[in-house]
Chains A and B, each alone.
Chain A
Amino acid sequence: MWIGHGEAKMFKKVLIANRGEIAVRIMRTCREMGIETVAVYSEVDARALHVLEADEAVALGESAPSGSYLHIEKIIDAAKKSGAEAVHPGYGFLAENPRFAEACEDSGLTFIGPPGRVIRDLGNKTMARRIMTSAGVPVIPGMMEPTQDPERLGHEAKIMGYPVLVKAVAGGGGKGMRVVFEDQAMREACLSAMSEAEKAFGDGSLYLEKHLESPRHVEFQILADGHGSVVHLFERECSIQRRHQKIIEETPSPVMTTSLREAMGRAAVSAARAAGYVNAGTVEFLLDRSGRFYFLEVNTRLQVEHPVTEMTTGLDLVREQLHIAAGDRLRFGQEDLFQRGHAIECRVYAEDPEQSFYPSPGKVLLHYEPAGPGIRNDCGIYEGFRVPVEYDPIIGKVIAYGETREASRRRMIRALETYAILGIRTTIPYLIDILSSPEFAAGDLCTDFIERHFQGWRQSTQEADMAKIAYIIQDLTAPAKAGTRQEAHGWPTPWETLGDWRL
């Protein structure tokens, strides 16, 4: 039974404590709901898209995240001064920082997410493992207590048996995570994971999990209101990962069955209940070849890949988040929820796929977005914008909806083939090749899919000759610019005698 929203008083103004595509995406829903938006920005982001999209914008100063998007006091201050009633943290930055959630609450601001205590419990990965175990949710065999001692980790790894997964206790997004296959590599892996975790989360503590052989990553979206109702919005399969970061996500999972979905959905809801969860969250699982699933972690935020759930359920998750935060009850029960069709998301990163995916910041010289039926582009850049070196390389996500997986896959390829971004390098050509591979088309996915099938990938140079011809035409016919041959050589080209090139 669907009940209308609106018992609780909705916020008039919300501050979005984030940047890039997610800030823009949140602002869109706010605007549709008649809620005013406040952006915050660092020096280097003064003309970023999220600033241009907001109703007002507050400068935070320093470009380094620690002096801007991670600076709790500055953001709380911006919210108070602008008269915002609530703060949406997006994903990354302060989204899973319990101190930030508490600081908001202490200042009389509503944090759009779970309570600080829940974020703290679940953000501590070993604590989360203990909560899940007591709620009867299966977890991956491994350590239940964290440590910063590489010797101790090495010792535990020997007992557990290689390969093992070194993970940051405060981790997320693959930061501070290493797969280790042998004892000799353990020490350097621990040290580098610790340094990365220390920098990303301010906590270098690590723990170990047994490394599962080629599992799938299947997660469940949950919504929990403040009145005790919890539902799941089905699964997302996010097995296509590079450096432990998801790059392609989809729903439904190609291997999902009705009974498995029921079992996993039930576990996800139990996990949320056990943690006292409120608002939107994601319960992540690994699914092994035999169909057994293990709790991985709970992400206490809106996920990067939330749009595929939106496309197939028809819900706007940011709208649901705002209603829950305002105190509304969920207006549907589990039995009211259905999925229709199939959606795939591709994350677009400013990285050079031909140079080992090294970050590729810089000025966007051209930006021509994909369009057409079933295509959504959640994007945080525009032509002329300079993608800064200071932040995550994600610049946007393309989402393709289709009635079947195959329709959505083909639609995605078609969309990406028309998505032109020049000036910076992006992962688009790589994504096209993954989507076009027979293994992906067959739905034969696993978290080491990339290592198995796309190790040492190179961009096809099939069209390089056409690119060269295009260069020549441009050189000879472009409206004269410094540096073209026409000018550089100062010679009358044969083309000048051919009349007007312009149309």
Chain B
Amino acid sequence: MKYRLKVGEETSEMEVLSTENPHRLRVTMGDRGVEVSFQRVSENCLWMVADGKATRVFLAQADEGTHVFLAGRCYLVQDADRLHLRGQRQGVHEETPREVTPPMPSVVVRILVSEGDLVKKGQGLLVVTAMKMETTLGAPYDGRVKKIHAAVHQKVAPGDVLVEIEEEVPGND
């Protein structure tokens, strides 16, 4: 069986093969193959041995993917094949790093630019607050502020485009 799994920005294709032993499988990623033995400890916990090294892994399934804890670190593992479906259902959340949107539910505290302003990549556009921490959202690229869809004290959520910026195409003159 084939999987396309995404952690961070990286998606890799993985092929899974069964073995004689129901608690062992073979996984190939690119030109690398790993034999993994495992035992299920509980619904949220696995014990895995790969390359002679044993690890206890905790997993929790959420809307955005599966959170996997392993050796002090957490990874959000997403099934790239199903991410596509989710993207269509929930809007373009995955493909929006170029848009000015808050990373978490928050409240707008200050707007630093006006419509028509020229802005440089990284320049602060507006300030939002969540858990008492203020965060400045910057311009994703050079351009002109086309439209501001936010007001001070307004509650905003990830995916809301707060400032539209028209990318400045370098002129030929």
Q: Which chain A residues have a beta carbon within 8 Å of chain B's beta carbons?
A: 175, 192, 195-196, 199-200, 243, 350, 352, 354-356, 358-361, 365-366, 368, 389-393, 416-423, 425-426, 428-429, 432, 459-461, 463-479, 481, 483, 485, 488, 493-495, 498-499, 501-503
Contacts and interface: CB of A to CB of B under 8 A. Distances in A.
A459 B73 contact: yes
Nearest to B22: A498
B103 interface: yes
Given A359-B133, A389-B106, A466-B48, 7 more contacts: A354-B8, A361-B130, A365-B61, A463-B73, A465-B12, A473-B46, A479-B43
B50 A358 contact: no
Nearest to A390: B131
Given A478-B43, A501-B40, A422 B55 contact: no
Nearest to B135: A358
B59 A470 contact: yes
A236 to B, nearest CB: 24
A271 to B, nearest CB: 29
Given A365-B62, A467-B7, A495 B72 contact: no
Nearest to B20: A498
B39 A503 contact: yes
A237 B159 CA distance: 41
B13 to A, nearest CB: 10
B10 A477 contact: no
Interface in B90-149: 103-106, 109-110, 127, 129-135
Contact of A393 (B66, B103, B131): B131
A215 B75 CA distance: 35
A390 B77 CA distance: 28
B39 A464 contact: no
3 tightest Cβ-Cβ pairs between the two chains A and B: A365-B60, A417-B72, A359-B131
A471 B71 contact: no
A418 B70 CA distance: 8
Contacts of B129: 199
B131 A361 contact: yes
Contacts of B131: 350, 359, 361, 389-393
B7 A461 contact: yes
18 contacts: A192-B134, A356-B103, A361-B105, A368-B69, A391-B131, A419-B72, A422-B58, A429-B74, A463-B71, A463-B73, A469-B14, A471-B77, A472-B3, A472-B25, A473-B36, A485-B1, A498-B22, A503-B39
